[in-house]
Amino acid sequence: MSAEELGFDPTLKKKKKKVVSEAPSASASPAPEKESLDDLFAGAKKKKKKTKAKKEATDDNDNTDELTESFEGLKLKKKKKKKGSKASESADFEKALAAAGVQEEDSGKLYDERQKETFIPYITLLDRFYDVLREKNPEMAGGQHQKLKIPPPEVARDGNKKTVFVNVQVIAHVLQRNPEHLIQYLFAELGTSGSIDGEKRLVIKGRFQAKNIESVLRRYIQEYVICKTCKSMNTELKRESTNRLHFIVCKACGSTKSVSSIKTGYQAHIGANRRKRV
Amino acid sequence: MSNIQNLKSFDPFADSGDVETQPTNYIHIRIQQRNGRKTLTTVTGVPEEYDLKKILKVLKKDFACNGNIAKDPEVGSVIQLQGDQRLKVMQFLVKQLGMQKKNIKIHGF
């Protein structure tokens, strides 16, 4: 019975280990005759225990040696029974056990090892299943894994008053949009102007942080990239030359939807210009 | 001629007058950067029937900021407020003036 328990629950085992370490002193003092009996067949056992103790000292949790472990389990079993039974009963029992000891040892060991081979926790199995699934066909795991990854905007400060948006081109490429369009939107939303430098980076006038740019980018994607019908980001922006309207053409579901053109809103005149104009 | 129904002078494609096809007028709330970390919030497209002066007065008091009304030839009257008041303005418009959230657009970062 205890062998089964031991095989199933490693935590239980550990608890019992502690009990064992205390057990000899506790059980020895009230029943001295038991000790002698104990010595008869447990001489070897004690030695083992010592080695085991040493082992524990050297590598605490790392129970690599299966043999000692299985022995330990057996020991535990015996100890436990001893402890549970009354002193008078235990003497007889010990004898019987001693007789049967060798056999049981073998069978118990075998059983333990078999348990160790077959028993894998459900959680690890489930994890493994999902790992394999994700590897082989990622669409099935999680469902919405087809979302394309947009690199986070890299934003650097250029001097005190300008912001450099380093990876506009990359982001525009990922979104399948013309960089000009994206830049136009950025300027309209941020209410500033700017230029493109030699390395095709975008220089924006004004101080902006990455998170600011990111929120604007999100809105751009929401408005000009995501297909309203199927929520896919695999879309194209086409300009109808006849009516001069922009259309989102979805490559996933084939729907088209018109989008409003980018309008720069009202700009208040700030600072020096304020009075000049009027 | 006029007895024949089909030739009556009824134009089926004429404007019936009861369809409201006028484009929804968005209220745009924008932000502009000024010198340093100072900003300016502009509110455009507030319907004519509202008294901008009164709104501005309340806004200035509520947000503890200065502001003024600018007249623009293109978009009409514009409320300007000092600082980033975008979210507060939107809440005010929705709660106090009962405007619909979908008609308000917040721009800027």
Across the range A131-158, mean pLDDT stands at 73
Q: In Å, what is the CA distance from B20 to each residue of A37, A177, B15, B16?
A: 103, 35, 11, 10
Query: Quick one: pLDDT band at residue A42, thresholds 50, 70, 90?
Result: very low
Q: In terms of pLDDT, which residue wins out, A255 or A51?
A: A255
Phi, psi of A62 (to 5 degrees): -85, 85
Per domain, the residue ranges of chain A are 155-259
Three-state DSSP state, A73: helix
Which chain B residue is nearest to residue A191, measuring alpha carbons?
B32
pLDDT value at residue A95 = 64
How far is the C-alpha of A204 from the C-alpha of A158, rounded, in Å? 9
Does pTM top 0.80 for this prediction?
no
Residue A191 to residue B31, Cβ atoms within 8 A = yes
* Predicted confidence band of residue A140 (pLDDT cuts 50, 70, 90): low
Chain B residues with CB-CB distance to A266 below 8 A: 28, 30, 42, 44, 72, 74-75, 78
> Where residue A44 falls among pLDDT bands split at 50, 70, 90?
very low
Cβ of B40 within 8 Å of Cβ of A271? The answer is: no
**How far is the C-alpha of A242 from the C-alpha of A226, rounded, in Å?**
24
Provide the percentage of residues in chain B whose pLDDT is more than 90: 29
What topology does CATH give the domain B27-107? Answer: Translation Initiation Factor Eif1 (3.30.780)
> What is the structure's pLDDT at A35?
46
pLDDT of residue A253: 83
Cross-chain residue pair A268–B80, CB shorter than 8 Å: yes
Q: Do the Cβ atoms of B78 and A265 come within 8 Å?
A: no
Which of B49, B58, B52 shows the shortest CA–CA distance to B91?
Answer: B58
Closest Cα in chain B, distance from residue A204 (Å): 12
Closest chain B CA to residue A210: B109
Q: What is the pLDDT of residue A147?
A: 62
Q: Note whether B75 contacts A207, CB cutoff 8 Å.
A: no
Judge whether A198 is closer than 8 Å to chain B, CB to CB.
no
Q: What is the pLDDT of residues B9-27, one digit of tens each?
A: 666 666 655 444 445 678 8
- Res A12: pLDDT: 44
**Which CATH topology does A155-259 take?**
Defensin A-like (3.30.30)
Q: Which of A152-166, A179-193, A262-276 is the least confident region?
A: A262-276
- Cβ atoms of residues A204 and A194 within 8 Å: yes
- Per-residue pLDDT at A160: 86
Whether A17 contacts A72, CB under 8 Å:
yes
Interface test with B, best of A263, A264, A266, A275 (most B CBs within 10 A): A266
pLDDT at A25: 43
Domain boundaries in chain B? 27-107
pLDDT value of residue A65: 46
Is the Cβ–Cβ distance between A262 and A188 less than 8 Å?
yes
Q: Which of A188, A189, A192 sits opposite B33 (nearest CB)?
A: A192
ipTM reported for the complex, 2 dp: 0.74
Q: What is the pLDDT of residues B47-95, one digit of tens each?
A: 888 898 999 999 999 999 999 998 888 888 899 999 999 999 999 999 9
pLDDT at B80: 92
What pLDDT is stored for residue B59 in this prediction?
92
CA distance A95 to A52: 25
Best of B24, B26, B30 to mutate (most A CBs within 10 Å, chain A): B30
Number of CB pairs < 8 Å for A and B? 49
